[in-house]
Amino acid sequence: MENSIAWIFIFPLFGSVACAILGISNRKICYPIAVLSMAGSLWAGIETLRQVLSVNDHTVSYLFGGWTLDAYPRGVGIEFHADILGILITLVVLGVGLLVSLYSKLPVEEETPGKEPLFYTLFLLQVTGLAGICLTGDAFNLYVLIEVAALTGYGLIAIGSNRAAAATFNYLILGTIGASLYLLGVGYIYIKTGTLNMVGIHDIIVAEGLADSATMQVAFVLVGVGILIKMAFFPFHAWLPNAYSNAPTTTSCLLAPVVTKVMIYVMIRMVLSVFGVEFSFESTLWTDVLPWLVVVAIVCAAVMALAQREIKRMLSYLIVAEVGYMVGGVWIYNYYGLIGSIFHVISDACMTLCLFLGAGLILRKAKTTHFDGLRGLFTKMPLTMTGFFIGGFSIIGLPPTCGFFSKWYLITGGMVSQRWEYMIVLMFSTMVMVVLFFRMIERIHLAVSESGENLGHGHGDLGLTDQQTRFDEGPLSMLIPLLLASAVVLVVGIYNQEVVSLIEVFLSDFNLPRGEGIK
């Protein structure tokens, strides 16, 4: 379909308006509206992917307002620019959106009673903003969409408890600094190039040799730092753990998998398509400094995660570590590192989704996500725990989950660029994650509490009553999305070659070092 790219955001946009208006008289109607509009949007996304794959240069550009490229100069109207990378990440966002909207029925009703219409309005607009970020081809439009995603995010987190509101305030301040720095960077680009269209900016940078101009270099720093703040890269990560661990279940399920990943996508897009490979990697400042920052980031985040005794908080620190992986994969600067980075964006979204959906179910049944509440959960809710640990094994990087393959490419990238510190730190954090998840399994099976006290009475006894270990799975509306998500983790892992070949098609346009000399 010709306009499928527009339908991607038309569905959730109109859906959110419908939720806001119809939700006043009937709250029950919001859930079906949200699920339907997410499904429609996903359908449009798949349709667009087909369209992208069917054209020769694998890009589809859509000009809003009919300001076509043949009749008007580029940059007059706003362009949506879908290439393989963009549409892949969009599909990830929409898929996560659909699964979480399916999942959301009970948690939203229970955690934010009376606010369902507001919740779903913000939820759908969040997805609209994130999907728009992946597709837009206009630097300023990107800022507006980042703010759409950010403001809905603040609302969705703070809709819960007072503690969440306090955490959101920090998120808001840091998020605004990040977005404003990005806006300032766009201004610096605009003052030198006179256009806001991403393709146009790249053409002018190449044509006029702006790589040496101080303005452009500062613009690069501003845009880069702005995005790093938004993606919670290590020194700027302070907002993330508090915000995500205090948010309502559905919110953290939606935000944790996609928001940071979408910002990493923005970084890749800026580096590759806007500033260009030559510009971005020419100065050794970034390629030297950032990987070392990544090392510090991953170590710190992993150690912090080790110190947590609460699942959601631990997962939040894991996200910070994962962000370090992906940033490192980009800035070690080679072909395999980038493949690993992009693949990891996709697989990390799937496995984080798995983990957070699982954590939501555990929270619902066990009433706590503290490690001490986990005893005996494998007998009580085996399906949930299976789904949860598929996500966990993927984060560790066990084959055949998708996490293994993306980590494989990242390590290959580190080897090709001879970035031993990056490789070592990847191994280190893998080991930390092994400890994290196997410690959880231990907590589930052993009768020892966190303080070392033995609660059981001998072999195999967990110190629980029969009632507490009885089979008691979570509701199907929450269980099915979790199982689907864990299935996706496995499927993406098994069919990793298909995904990688798509990414390779995208990267073949760029001149990246492949390290043939070393092999």
Partner 1 sequence: MKLLSYIPVLVVGVLLLYAAKDFPEWGSPDAPASKSPVSSHFIANTGVDTEVPNMVTAVLADYRGFDTMFETVVVFIAGMAVLAILKNSGRKKLVKREFEVDAEPDLIVTNTVRLLVPVIQIFAFYVLAHGHVSPGGGFQGGVLMGASFILVALSWDLETALIRFPLNWTTILGGLGIFLYAGIGLLSMFLGGEFLDYSELANIFPVSREMARYHAMLGVEIGVGLTVTAIMFSLYANLSTEGRLQRGL
Partner 2 sequence: MFEDGTIINELLIERLNYFIYVVLLLIGLHAMIAKKNLIKKLIGMSIFQTAIILFYVSIGVKEGSTIPVYLPEHDPHGSHSVPSDTNETSHFDHGPVILDSSLVKGYANPLPHVLMLTAIVVGVATLGLALALCQRIYQGYGTIEEDELLAKMESREIRSKTLSVQIPKDQKLPKKDELKKEKSRSVSKSKTLSASKPKPKGKK
* Binding range to partner 1, per CB under 8 A, among 192-200, 326-334, 385-393, 478-486: 192-200
Is the CB of 16 or the CB of 496 nearer to partner 1? 16
Task: For residue 280, report the phi and psi dihedrals to the nearest 5 degrees.
Answer: -70, -40
Residue 23 near residue 121, CB atoms below 8 Å: yes
Distance CA 271, CA 267 (A): 6
Among 29, 46, 109, 147, binds partner 1 (CB under 8 A): 147
Q: Which does 56 bind (CB under 5 to 8 A by kind): partner 1, partner 2, none?
A: none
Q: Which does 211 bind (CB under 5 to 8 A by kind): partner 2, partner 1, none?
A: none
Is the CB of 53 or the CB of 191 nearer to partner 2? 191
| 341, two tokens | 């980075």
Q: Which does 321 bind (CB under 5 to 8 A by kind): partner 2, partner 1, none?
A: none
To partner 1, the closest distance from the beta carbon of 197 in angstroms equals 8
Is the CB of 159 or the CB of 305 nearer to partner 1? 159
Q: Mind spelling out the 3-state secondary structure of 204-219? A: HHHHHCHHHCHHHHHH
Q: How far is CA 224 from the centre of its chain?
A: 18
Is the CB of 282 or the CB of 473 nearer to partner 2? 473
Residue 191 in contact with partner 1, rule: CB under 8 A: yes
* Binding range to partner 1, per CB under 8 A, among 73-81, 320-328, 370-378, 487-495: 73-81
Is the CB of 118 or the CB of 277 nearer to partner 1? 118
HSE at residue 260, side-chain half, CA atoms within 13 A, is 38
Residue 117 near residue 92, CB atoms below 8 Å: no
Among 215, 497, 508, 511, binds partner 1 (CB under 8 A): 215
Residue 158 in contact with partner 1, rule: CB under 8 A: yes
Measured CA to CA in angstroms, residue 449 lies from 59, 309, 336, 443, 453 at distances of: 56, 12, 44, 8, 5
Among 36, 39, 59, 67, binds partner 1 (CB under 8 A): 67
Q: What is the largest CA-CA distance in the chain?
A: 81
Distance CA 404, CA 500 (A): 13
Is the CB of 50 or the CB of 439 nearer to partner 2? 439
To partner 1, the closest distance from the beta carbon of 161 in angstroms equals 10
Residue 326 near residue 487, CB atoms below 8 Å: no
Instruction: Collapse the DSSP code of 13 into the 3-class scheme (helix H, G, I; strand E, B; otherwise coil) and give the result.
Output: helix
Which residues contribute to the site for partner 2 (CB under 8 A)? 140, 143-144, 147, 151, 154-155, 158, 161-163, 165-166, 168-169, 172-173, 176-177, 180, 183-184, 187, 190-191, 196, 366-368, 370, 372-373, 450
Helix intervals (H) in 231-334: 239-246, 249-269, 277-282, 284-307, 311-331
> Cβ of 464: how many Cβ atoms within 10 Å?
16
Nearest to 47 by CA among 86, 16, 2: 2
Is the CB of 72 or the CB of 438 nearer to partner 1? 72
Q: Which does 379 bind (CB under 5 to 8 A by kind): partner 1, partner 2, none?
A: none
To partner 2, the closest distance from the beta carbon of 60 in angstroms equals 26
* Torsion sign across C-alpha atoms 104, 316, 365, 395: positive
Q: Which does 65 bind (CB under 5 to 8 A by kind): partner 1, partner 2, none?
A: partner 1
Among 1, 3, 424, 472, binds partner 1 (CB under 8 A): 3
The vertex-410 CA angle with 263 and 52, nearest 5°, equals 55
Q: Which does 366 bind (CB under 5 to 8 A by kind): partner 1, partner 2, none?
A: partner 2
Is the CB of 6 or the CB of 165 nearer to partner 2? 165
Is the CB of 28 or the CB of 163 nearer to partner 2? 163
Residue 24 in contact with partner 1, rule: CB under 8 A: yes
Task: For residue 513, report the phi and psi dihedrals to the nearest 5 degrees.
Answer: -70, 135
Q: Which does 89 bind (CB under 5 to 8 A by kind): partner 2, partner 1, none?
A: none
Distance CA 143, CA 512 (A): 28
Residue 283 in contact with partner 1, rule: CB under 8 A: no
Query: DSSP string of 336-369?
Result: HHHHHHHHHHHHHHHHHHHHHHHHHHHHHHHS--
Is the backbone peptide bond immediately before 400 cis, with ω within 30 degrees of 0? yes
Distance CA 373, CA 382 (A): 15
235 CB-near residues (< 8 Å, 6+ apart)? 293, 297
By CB under 8 A, the residues from 78 to 107 that bind partner 1 are 78
**Residue 277 identity:** V
Distance CA 449, CA 310 (A): 14
Is the CB of 65 or the CB of 460 nearer to partner 1? 65
Residue 334 in contact with partner 1, rule: CB under 8 A: no
Residues lying near partner 1 in the complex (CB under 8 A) are found at 3, 6, 10, 13-14, 17-18, 20-21, 24, 62-67, 72-78, 112, 114-115, 118-119, 121-122, 125, 128-129, 132, 138, 140-141, 144-145, 147-148, 151-152, 154-155, 158-159, 162, 165, 188, 190-197, 200, 213-215, 217-219, 221-222
